[in-house]
Chains A and B, each alone.
Chain A
Amino acid sequence: MGEFKVHRVRFFDYMPSAIRTMAFNSRSERLALARADGAVELFNFADNYFQDKVIPGREGRDTEALCWVGRRLFSAGLNGEITEYDLEKLRPRYTVAAFGGAIWTMSSNSQGSLLAVGCEDGTVKIFEVLEETIRHQRNLARQKGRIVSLSWHPSGTLIAAGMMDMIQIFDAETGQATHRLLVEKRLRASKSVEVVVWSVVFLSDHTIVSGDSAGKVQMWDGSTGTLIRTYLVSKWDVLALAVSQDERSLVAGTSEGTVIQFQFLSTVDQQPEEWIRTRTFKNHSHDVRALAHTETAVVSGGMDVQLVVRPLLDKVERNTQEAALRKIAFPHRNLVCCAKKAGLLLFQFPEHLEVWRLGESDGHGRPGDRLPVKRKPEKLIELKRKGEDHICCSALSPCGGWIAYSTVSGVRLYRFQHNNNIRISKVSRLPKVLCSVQQLCFSSDSSKLFASTSHSSLIVVGLNQSECKYLNTLKPKSDSRQPVHLLAASDDGRWLAAANTDCEIHVYNLEKMKIHCSVPIHSSCPTAIAIHPVTSSLVAVHADQQIFEYSLELKEYTEWSRKLQKQGLHSLWLERDTPVTHITFNPRNPAHIVLHDAFMFCIIDQSLPLPEAKAVLYNQMTLRSLPESDRPRHSHAFKICKSFQHLMCVSLLDDHSLVAVERPLQDIMCQLPPPVRQKKFAT
């Protein structure tokens, strides 16, 4: 496998924020998820749950509701505004104020023509969805108390609104309330404590399902306004409800971290079906704030920052990859940038950037030993972002002399001196074209900065000691409007590769400043790309875990890549559930490709035979136990190391040491607020 001196970095205090709400678009199979810091993440469920787009948050934008209307995504929050997002430029397109105080909920009718928002002042406001914008149409009859939850009847004629202590049913045509359903308080609760109807669902058979702060899930007859069933499911609140497309399964999320499933079953033959409580899933330690019911799975998220995809075993084939439980805790993109020559690390937080210098050690030891640290790692600077928008991307040049970051509103570039006295100075006059940037990348000699903008085009900016100047704009031949999410420059400075969320990878020749070629499109989105420094071939790993190597000189897949495709990857490799997020190469051995996902890093040795389907994939431990002479017979190209977990970044420095940035999940869990008190058996 090769031996490295490893910098085991655990000082990246990355803390994802809590999941607030989510919306699933069953047509495009995309899940939109809003976090407490206002960021919106998009997951493509059709493509291995890959998080392909992230819209950065903004201070003061507390998203409380998300809503898909066709392919358009709307959000509303406590700041009282409705925002539509531009999913190509990854920024808000426009914002409309509702003038009703904080917005707690938003729902669109099934035709996609109207949006209803529930406001703090007790009004339900109906907005018309127009081609380019939304327009306020009218208000429904105003109620006392805030509107906490809303649900349209699929026909679009009725709206159910969950409020304090009651549920109101409105006629959407006239705007008048037709029914008032009073929700009971918890037994032995004081009079002053109100019951909050956190969630309502209006089913097509006029059944209304409500979840409230008294821990009840109640089924109401919406046409007569009577209570049908009450299920007391929690000692605490029921916070979220979600129903499947066919309305045969319903899930409720509680403060105890449980998700409870109800199914529409007939218990007696030839009798009408009824809702019956069936399974209980406990995958969260804290509140389940957001729920979505896809065709095959229950998706839940909440305070404990993880997104959990729990497949329903009656809907999927057993013992397949689809039937496995997935927990998505880490972003599927790089938040760490490593300056290979200088030995610096740049950590990206939503609010600030940190630059650390790695520690040093001159000790030597056997594999597995812990070396004494001569110089401790040191935080050089902490750079606060300017403005209200959160940082969406950042880059550190390989020499460590430049730091660049971008927000929705603009790009900032800094000159950074770190040798003796630390000094940072902002480069003032940036080219005007650098305004809305999705990805940033420095060339290996730190003389150029590459930035991606709209329509997948790239801007090349030349850097020297004093100034930076706009050099060129590179445009792909295709007319894709999707944003670039990966950039990779070759070490020799000749090539630049860019991947966008349309699964395209374009390679540009930097000497001629024009497009060189496009890699044949694979159906799955690339999650990491890199250009080999010696052979000038592009290595790309996709969300479906496939690996391709494309020779840039010959403009075709290399022999190794063809062999790999012909033989197929090992089944265990394909079953991993986190994407490869970073690829790097071993300068000493050009046959080595180093790549990593959240739970392992792997060195692919192209000189060794590929693993057979029946071979043991994780064979490093068994190899170690074998005598030296037997090892070559058993070794194969995939050398996988699992000794580092929750990896945020693995990179090789120029001094041939390996940097592994870990963020243990336990540390994240420690920082969460305490969960609701639950009685534990035998305590």
Chain B
Amino acid sequence: MKGQRSEGKVDCSENMVEHANVRVVHRGGSKINFREPVISSDSRFLLCPSGESVKVFSTSTEECIRDLRGHTDLVTGVLIRPSNHLQVYSSSLDGTVRLWDFTDGILIRTCVIGQPIYSMYTSAHHKGILFIVISMGADRRSELFQLVAVHLPQSGEQLVEAREVSAVLSYVDSNPATISFGKGGEYIASATGFQLEVFYFRKQKSYRFFLKGNNKKGAKNTFTCVACHPHENCIATGHEDGKIRLWRNFTDQKEYTYSTLHWHHSAVSSLRFTPEGTNLLSGGVESVLVQWRYNQDNQRDFLPRLGAAITHITVSPDGSLFCTSHSDNKITVIQSCVKVSAVIQGLVKGRSIRTDLMVDPCSKALVLNGKPGHLQFYSLQRDKLLYNLDIVQQEYIHELGLEQMEVVKAAFSPAGNWLATVEERKQSATEVELNLKLWEFDQQTQSFVLNTTISAPHEAQITAMCFCQAADSQTTMLVSASKEGHFKAWQLEPAHTEDEGPSWSCGFVGAYHGLVPGCCCFSADGSLLAVGFQEVVTVWSPVSWELLTTLSQPPGIIRNLCFGRLSCSKYLLGTISNNMLCCWNLLTCSLEWSTSMDTSLLLADPLSENMAAFCSQAGCTDLFVFKPSEPRPLFSQKAVCSGKVTRAVFAPREEMLESCEESSQWLNHSQLYFFNQNMDLLSFTTKAEEDRLMASSKQLMIDDSVAMTPFYLLLGKHRQQEGNPEADSSLPVDRAALPQGTVAMKELLQTPAHVLPSTSFLCSMFVQSLLISITDSREEHKHSDEELESEKEEEDSEGEMDSSILRPELGPVAAAPPLSKAQIRELRRVKKLDHSWCTGLLDS
């Protein structure tokens, strides 16, 4: 798998030569539970590997403060440098170990190992040595791993190559939980399979202990994790059957002994001693953090209901904070084993996405399956999970083989005020329990509230569901197609009685010759509905429910249907089972063009007439972007990723890109996100966009939890005034317009004391800077006023995301007589209106 990944990468870079400015990137949603995080020595920061970067979170505010970018492949470990607690090492599959200053986000040094690194260990007692796990032998794909010690070269260069590598242990496990350093770095314990190996550095001798593989009582003795006591000669090992063994006296091959602790009912996935060695923490699939008193076996504390299986446990160096990683891509920060103080939630990834990828029109969040029975709303801009919406509203019972209610379909109405979901439970091959739920967006609570539940809306599985596209139409309509051979139209009916609101009911049941409908699609203005019945595309009028026409020109089962947008709204596109992409002209009711390609996904950009088609070919997926009006791709990229692209979506941009290059113009309005087979969220980015990102990440950032000193009060006030415009519009132009006085003050306060000139020299400069700032004060005042206003608006307007788009445009306008609030609102409304019909007119 790893090999394939790297192949995919090579292809990408080749393509980059073709389209130098568009490339595939990991953009958000990456795993934060892949490897265990590390807590900084002051317990303020949490560093965790996330995809190809290392993220720095604040343990108190849960915010991602910094993203340490630089690795070109999956990061496999983060560790605080033992000799400097402000620096971290990170290892990656790209074969490098990088040293970072994580408070400033500066890459200090890159050490090239030349082989993929699977995990990394350090010890305070081995100075200048890094222990890494690499694969054995020359073959990089072998499943055998070894632990080697790397002597880090002591040169000041940026890029160094580590040559002094010595083997320590062979046949180790690549899982970092299976290796642990013992008391004072004297020995290292490693567990693989049924064997525990303890290696003493001074004696250069290792002791091996074996457990019986096949126990008569059915105990599964496989080692899963290892932890060493910090002060005593004791090794704790976790096992597949939930037992924890405490090994002692292991310097004797024969007289070794162990005691057993047993609470977990299945495999112990992580073990950790607290720094004082008084407690042992363990976690597993039960999602309960268990705290064992060391040497008082019967006393244990539990922290239950952590939400999902625990994969890693980390303890802060002072022992005050615990941190558990969970299988649902979540990190929980726990204070002294009693209180969950913060939850850092990443994109929840199940085994598959049953619902399509969607973008919530209100919050512009990516919506997909999350926790079992939930829909998650994931903000792509902030790379943060906004919230989970409980759809099934049933207790989730963790049990193997138990069929649960699952959300299988979801759809948003174009205005974003309605959400339709379908949940299903397969009781047997024939019997399916279905529920169609309709949720209304509540402005007060800013969340979706259940409006109507329709149990058993169809007799068989629902194959497709879509809302009527027209945003301004009076009636909201939902169409669902099912395997039973019908499609049903659901309409919002006014309330029958006074006390209940409007609810949804079935308005029309359509069928076509008893064929099974496979897909459905509304045209952009809502005047046409296309339903694909196996080999026939039927076009209906939703107003009169009249079958307008049927299209069945190239024979083959219809898999996907999509109406063109804007200027191309007269076209209907479809994919057919025998690898054909067809485009029908609805005015002539004939096939406009068709091309032979194995399209797995076809989707339309809601903000332009562009369409994207993912075609799988020879284990890779190619992307074509085209306009329905002409069968010539605007943009094409071979081998976007290896394997099939399962889901994709066009997410509207917050602000339009001003790209003039032809190949990247399609990315101006919206961004294309897609999931590959490994459930990684990928996206396309242009060169200009990347440059801007790099620039913004270079900006100095100071953690918001700085201690409350007099300096902070002085500095903090200034930051509050200036910070917000800087964060919202990260254009460098804005930064230049900052008042000079603040710059001088910042210089004064942020420069280290030992490099500052004498105070007498500074004093005059400082006073001078204050004097000059008077001229700028008016402008600054205005800035803050404006900020207050927009903040107020954010509270009451639903399209709060628009405000940031609006702002830079407003800038020049504001120089002229200021607009009143009502005027601004009106302007916004006008801007939001769909003017695409104008372009349509112009074209025709």
Report which A residues bind B (CB closer than 8 A).
231-233, 261, 263, 265-269, 276-280, 314-315, 681-682
Contact A280 B259, beta carbon cutoff 8 Å: yes
Verify B233–A268 contact, CB threshold 8 A. Answer: yes
Nearest opposing residue in chain A for B184, CB measure = A269
Contacts of A277 in B (CB 8 A): 259, 295, 297
Listed stretches B250-258, B278-286, B642-650; interface member: B250-258
A15 to B787, CA, bound (A): 92
A120 nearest CB across to chain B (Å): 33
Given contacts A269-B233, A314-B255, contact A279 B248 (CB under 8 A): no
Nearest-CB residue, chain B, relative to A260: B259
Q: Flag if A268 contacts B232 (CB, 8 Å).
A: yes
What is the CA–CA distance of A278 and B265 in the complex, to the nearest angstrom? Answer: 21
Given contacts A231-B297, A263-B257, A277-B297, 12 further A-B contacts (CB under 8 A): A233-B298, A265-B248, A265-B257, A267-B229, A267-B248, A277-B259, A278-B248, A278-B258, A279-B259, A280-B260, A314-B256, A315-B255
B313-327 CB contacts (< 8 Å) to partner A = none
Tell me the smallest distance from the CB of A243 to a CB of chain B, in Å: 16
Contact of A276 among B256, B259, B265 (CB under 8 A): B259
Could you tell me if B258 and A279 are in contact, using CB atoms closer than 8 angstroms?
A: yes
Instruction: Tell me the B residues contacting A by CB distance below 8 Å.
Output: 183, 229, 231-234, 248-249, 252, 254-260, 265, 295-299
A276 CA / B258 CA spacing, docked (Å): 10
Separation of A511 and B231 alpha carbons in the complex (Å) = 81
Task: Give CA–CA (A231, B258) in the complex, Å.
Answer: 16
Complex Cα–Cα for A267 and B295 (A): 11
Contact across chains for A267 and B232 when beta carbons are under 8 A apart: yes
Residues from chain A with a CB closer than 8 A to the CB of B254 are 314
11 contacts between A and B (CB under 8 A): A231-B296, A233-B298, A267-B229, A267-B234, A267-B248, A268-B231, A268-B233, A277-B295, A279-B259, A280-B260, A314-B252
Given contacts A232-B298, A269-B233, A276 and B248 within 8 Å (CB-CB): yes
Chain B residues with CB below 8 A from A232, complex form? 296, 298-299
- Provide the residues of chain B in CB contact with A231, threshold 8 Å: 296-297
Roughly how many angstroms separate A605 CA and B257 CA in the complex, as a whole number? 47
Chain A residues near B249 (CB-CB < 8 A): 263, 265
Closest chain B CB from A271 CB (angstroms): 9
> Once the chains are docked, how many angstroms separate the CA of A278 from the CA of B233?
14
Measured CA separation A269–B256 after assembly (Å): 15
Min CB distance B209 to A, Å, is: 11
Chain B residues with CB under 8 Å of A279's CB are 257-260
**Cα(A233)–Cα(B183), bound, Å:** 28
Chain A residues within an 8 Å CB radius of B258:
278-279
Q: Kindly state the separation between the CA atoms of A504 and B83 in the bound complex, as whole angstroms.
A: 77
Chain A minimum-CB-distance residue to B297 = A277
Distance (whole angstroms) from the CB of A280 to the closest CB of chain B: 6
Query: 8 tightest A-B contacts by CB?
Result: A267-B232, A314-B255, A278-B257, A278-B259, A232-B298, A268-B232, A277-B259, A265-B249
> In the complex, which residues of chain A have a beta carbon less than 8 angstroms from the beta carbon of B256?
314
A269 to B257 alpha-carbon distance, docked (Å): 17
A263 and B298 in contact, given A268-B233, A279-B258, A314-B257 (Cβ under 8 angstroms): no
Chain A residues with CB under 8 Å of B295's CB are: 276-277
Q: Which partner residue on chain A sits nearest B254 by CB separation?
A: A314
Contact indicator B233/A267 (Cβ below 8 Å): yes
Q: Bound complex: CA of A269 vs CA of B232, how far in Å? A: 8
Closest to B298 in A: A232
Q: Which residue of B lies closest to A318 (CB)?
A: B254
Return chain A residues, CB-CB under 8 Å to B299.
232
Contacts of B232 in A (CB 8 A): 267-268
* Complex CA distance for A605 and B567, rounded to whole angstroms: 102
Name the residue on A nearest B265 (C-beta). Answer: A681
Q: Which residue of A lies closest to B256 (CB)?
A: A314
Give the Cβ gap from A487 to chain B, nearest Cβ, in Å: 41
Determine the chain A residues whose CB is within 8 A of the CB of B257 once the complex forms: 261, 263, 265, 278-279, 314
A265, B248: Cα distance in complex, Å:
8
How many angstroms between the C-alpha atoms of A201 and B372 in the bound complex?
Answer: 57
Q: How far is the CB of A316 from chain B (nearest CB, A)?
A: 9
Chain B residue nearest to A266 in the complex (CB):
B233
Set of chain B residues within 8 Å of A269, measured between Cβ atoms? 233
How far is it, in angstroms, between the C-alpha of A681 and the C-alpha of B296 when the chains are bound? Answer: 21
Decide if B248 touches A263 in the complex (CB within 8 Å). yes
Closest to A681 in B: B265
B231 CB contacts on chain A under 8 angstroms? 268
A338 to chain B, nearest CB (A): 36
Cβ–Cβ < 8 Å partners of A267 in chain B: 229, 232-234, 248
With both beta carbons as reference points, the residue of chain B lying nearest to A274 in the complex is identified as B295
Chain A residue nearest to B299 (CB atoms) is: A232
Q: How far is the CB of B88 from chain A (nearest CB, A)?
A: 31
Distance between A654 CB and nearest chain B CB, rounded to angstroms = 43
Which residues on A sit within 8 Å (CB–CB) of B298? 232-233
Task: Report the minimum CB–CB distance from B279 to chain A (whole Å).
Answer: 16
**A217 smallest CB distance to B (angstroms):** 11
Shortest distance between the CB of A598 and any CB in chain B (Å): 20
CA distance A159 to B368 in the complex (A): 75
Q: Point out the residues of chain A lying under 8 angstroms from B296, CB to CB.
A: 231-232
Closest CB of chain B to A272's CB: distance in Å? Answer: 13
- The residue in chain A whose Cβ has the minimal distance to the Cβ of B295 is A276
Q: Which residues of B contact A261 (CB under 8 A)?
A: 257
- Give Cα A269–Cα B298 distance, bound, in whole angstroms: 26
Chain B nearest CB from A161 CB (Å) reads 27
Bound complex: CA of A654 vs CA of B259, how far in Å?
Answer: 57
Least CB distance from B98 to A in Å reads: 37
Across the interface, name the chain A residue whose C-beta is closest to B217. Answer: A282
A314 CA to B252 CA in the complex, in Å?
9
Nearest B residue (CB) for A235: B298
Give the distance in Å from the alpha carbon of A261 to the alpha carbon of B259 in the complex.
Answer: 9
| Bound: A265/B295 CA distance, A | 13
CB contacts (< 8 Å) of A263 on chain B: these are: 248-249, 257
Question: Which residues of A are found within 8 Å of B297, using beta-carbon distances?
Answer: 231, 277
Write the nearest CB–CB distance from A131 to chain B, whole angstroms.
42
> A315 CA to B249 CA in the complex, in Å?
14
A269 and chain B: residue at smallest CB distance: B233
Q: How far is the CB of A49 from chain B (nearest CB, A)?
A: 23
Q: How far is the CB of A244 from chain B (nearest CB, A)?
A: 12
> Which B residues touch A278, using CB under 8 A?
248, 257-259
Q: How far, in angstroms, from A315 to B298 measured CA to CA in the complex? A: 28
Chain A residue numbers with a CB within 8 Å of B255 are 314-315
A273 to chain B, nearest CB (A): 10
CB distance from A207 to the nearest CB of B (A): 17
Find the A residue at minimum CB distance from B229. A267
Provide the residues of chain B in CB contact with A314, threshold 8 Å.
252, 254-257
> Across the two chains, which residue of chain B brings its CB closest to A232?
B298
A262 to B299, CA, bound (A): 18
- For B248, the chain A residues whose CB sits under 8 A away are 263, 265, 267, 276, 278
- What's the Cα separation between A315 and B248 when bound, in Å? 16
Closest chain-A Cβ to B436's Cβ sits at a distance in Å of 37
Task: Specify which chain A residues have a CB less than 8 angstroms from the CB of B252 in the assembled complex.
Answer: 314
Can you name the residue of chain B whose Cβ is closest to the Cβ of A277?
Answer: B259
CA distance A473 to B120 in the complex (A): 86
Instruction: Give chain B nearest CB distance to A257 CB in angstroms.
Output: 15
B606 to chain A, nearest CB (A): 52
Which among B183, B257, B295, B298 has the highest number of chain A CB atoms within 10 Å? B257
Bound-complex Cα distance A49 to B231 (A): 43
Report the minimal beta-carbon distance from A365 to chain B, rounded to whole angstroms: 36
Compute how far the CA of A268 lies from the CA of B298 in the bound complex, rounded to whole angstroms: 23
Which chain B residues border A681 with CB–CB below 8 Å?
265
A280 to B243, CA, bound (A): 13
Distance (whole angstroms) from the CB of B242 to the closest CB of chain A: 10
Q: Compute how far the CA of A367 lies from the CA of B183 in the bound complex, rounded to whole angstroms.
A: 66
> How distant is the Cα of A315 from the Cα of B297 in the complex, in angstroms?
25
Closest chain B residue to A233, Cβ basis: B298
Least CB separation from A261: chain B residue: B257
Bound Cα distance from A232 to B297, whole angstroms: 8
Interface centre among A232, A268, A315 (most CB of B within 10 A): A268
Q: Which residues of B contact A268 (CB under 8 A)?
A: 183, 231-233
